[in-house]
Structure 1
Amino acid sequence: MRTEHKVQLFLLHFAGGSSYSYDFLRAYMDDNFEFIPLEIPGRGKRFHESLLATKAAAIEDYTKQIKKLRNHRKPYLIFGHSMGATLALSIAYEMEKINDIALSIIVSGNPGPGIKEPEDPDNKGPRYLMNDADFKAELEILGGIPEEILNSDELYDFFEPIMRADFAILEKESDYSEEEIKLRSSIYALMGSEEERCEHIENWKKFTKGTFESNLLEGNHFFIHGHPEKLSTIILNSYKDNF
């Protein structure tokens, strides 16, 4: 017998995303989950707030949201894709400091902290500082950006500062600040089979004292859109296996 909303699921968006980024997944989730997509300022429901530009600020903002929304009678999970995966690790760590421990964090589209991106032969520098032409080309390579945004000057001009701010969160603080993190929560890592650095997915294992699992699913960086049913099953099992 199901008990509705037995577990809270907090979802952290990718660079350029918002609380709407996981709408594609909602219909596939078990009724036992309280589906809670979050967002940092400057987009979606928080459009009128100023964009953040540091990792520390994003971690603090997300952690405050989770603390405010937590129902301590229920266990919880954190899911993050790409930028959201990087931040999920530190957010889970901040929650552990107050002894509110996630059952598991599910991290996708990211090999984890400490794994550097391949050297750029053209030396274009960090993405958030690229000139307009290089930055737009980088977004096209990354994928996941609707063509109507890239092909419309008006939409692109709206979207560009959000993307630059999010890349600054990832790139401005180059120090490996997560190096000492060892979560009590389990970690489940996912990457697309066509992603650069997917061979480093096991890197996530060193950030937990709990159980660790990993999986490569067919696709590129935004493979999640092609596997909503599989993703929902992984999230459900991360609850069942750790409760």
Structure 2
Amino acid sequence: MKLFCIPYAGGSAFFYSQWSSHLNGIAEIIPVELAGRGRRVHEPFYRSFEEAVEDITSIIVPQLSGAPYGIFGHSLGANLAYETIHQLKSGGYKEPDVVFFSGRSAPHVPDKDETIVHTLPDEEFKRHLMELGGTPPQFFDNTELMDLFLPIIRSDFRLSETHMFKERNSKLGCDVYIFFGYKDDTLSGDIEEWDQISDNACKYVGFDGDHFFIHSHSQLVIEALMKALNFR
């Protein structure tokens, strides 16, 4: 099975590469790099959420062969994954056999924090990122890294905050797993609201961590992926 992995806001798909050796023989990890970072650092940022979905779809489609495949997305990546699946379905492609939505409330649930983050001045923006966690504090003291990093994550926040959820006529028919951190204070509403977007009951896997449990509890996340993929 191919498992396409979409990064979170400000993240690079390179993070997922470390999963390859652990899932060898179970799944082929295919990191989906977004424009403006990693090996695509010289490409312009997306102008809209829809443009990002179009790009992700164009990366996935040529690699579909009729064999089973899955999609994993964390935080912003979860929302991108959800919309990408509907884009694939509308294009006549079969939806994935399994999808993992990680670190995100269901797409129809309003964000708990109504602050428009992507328009904040740099210092306030950095404070917000520090409160969110997932980035070493010393990272914010490195001017060169900040000059590179802030435009990327600000652009990603803009995509997330300007995207409007649209009701769909069809629900997902694939296996749906929801990964979440018990201490993730970015989540809003009931995590089981995800059941509303699926024809089948979602499978929920909680971790004793915050929003970035995929870093702090990476081994447990990998074990949960192995269990889910082997179970199929």
**TM-score if structure 2 supplies the norm length?**
0.91
Residue of structure 1 in register with 2:82 after alignment: 89
- Conserved in 2, the CA contact under 8 Å of 1:28 and 1:229? no
- Conserved in 1, the CA contact under 8 Å of 2:209 and 2:217? no
- Conserved in 1, the CA contact under 8 Å of 2:16 and 2:29? no
Residue of structure 2 in register with 1:192 after alignment: 181
- Conserved in 2, the CA contact under 8 Å of 1:8 and 1:36? yes
Whole-Å Cα distance in 2 between the matches of residues 117 and 22 of structure 1?
A: 26
Distance 1:10 1:90, change over 3 A: same
Alignment of 1:110-149 (within 5 A): 110-119=104-113, 125-149=115-139
Segments of 4+ in structure 1 off by > 3 A?
Answer: 178-181, 236-242
* Alpha-carbon shift at residue 9 of structure 1 (Å): 0.5
Q: Which runs of 5+ in 2 are unaligned?
A: none
1:106-143 CA-partner distances (Å, limit 9, x unpaired): 011111212223355xxxx4111011111000110111
Residue of structure 1 in register with 2:53 after alignment: 59
Whole-Å Cα distance in 2 between the matches of residues 176 and 211 of structure 1?
A: 21
- Conserved in 1, the CA contact under 8 Å of 2:182 and 2:210? yes
* Alpha-carbon shift at residue 51 of structure 1 (Å): 0.8
Residue of structure 2 in register with 1:42 after alignment: 36
Whole-Å Cα distance in 2 between the matches of residues 210 and 224 of structure 1?
A: 25
- Conserved in 2, the CA contact under 8 Å of 1:14 and 1:84? yes
Letter in structure 1 aligned against 2:93: N
* Alpha-carbon shift at residue 70 of structure 1 (Å): 1.9
- 1:176 matched to 2:165: yes
Identity, % of aligned pairs?
A: 30
* Alpha-carbon shift at residue 235 of structure 1 (Å): 2.4
**TM-score if structure 1 supplies the norm length?**
0.87
Q: Count residues in correspondence.
A: 230
1:26-59 CA-partner distances (Å, limit 9, x unpaired): 3322423111001111000101110114210111
Distance 1:34 1:180, change over 3 A: same
Please give the root-mean-square deviation of Cα atoms over the aligned residues, in Å.
Answer: 1.9
Partner secondary structure for residue 202 of structure 1: helix
Whole-Å Cα distance in 1 between the matches of residues 230 and 135 of structure 2?
A: 34
Residue of structure 2 in register with 1:28 after alignment: 22
Partner secondary structure for residue 168 of structure 1: helix
1:72-99 CA-partner distances (Å, limit 9, x unpaired): 2x20010000000011111112222313
1:118-174 CA-partner distances (Å, limit 9, x unpaired): 355xxxx4111011111000110111123343111111011100001100110013x
- Conserved in 2, the CA contact under 8 Å of 1:16 and 1:162? yes
Letter in structure 2 aligned against 1:82: S
Whole-Å Cα distance in 2 between the matches of residues 189 and 178 of structure 1?
A: 20
Whole-Å Cα distance in 1 between the matches of residues 85 and 148 of structure 2?
A: 31
Q: Which runs of 5+ in 1 are unaligned?
A: 1-6
Whole-Å Cα distance in 1 between the matches of residues 24 and 220 of structure 2?
A: 12
- 1:69 matched to 2:59: no
* Alpha-carbon shift at residue 198 of structure 1 (Å): 6.3
Deviates more, 1:230-239 or 1:215-224: 230-239
- 1:167 matched to 2:157: yes
* Alpha-carbon shift at residue 219 of structure 1 (Å): 0.6
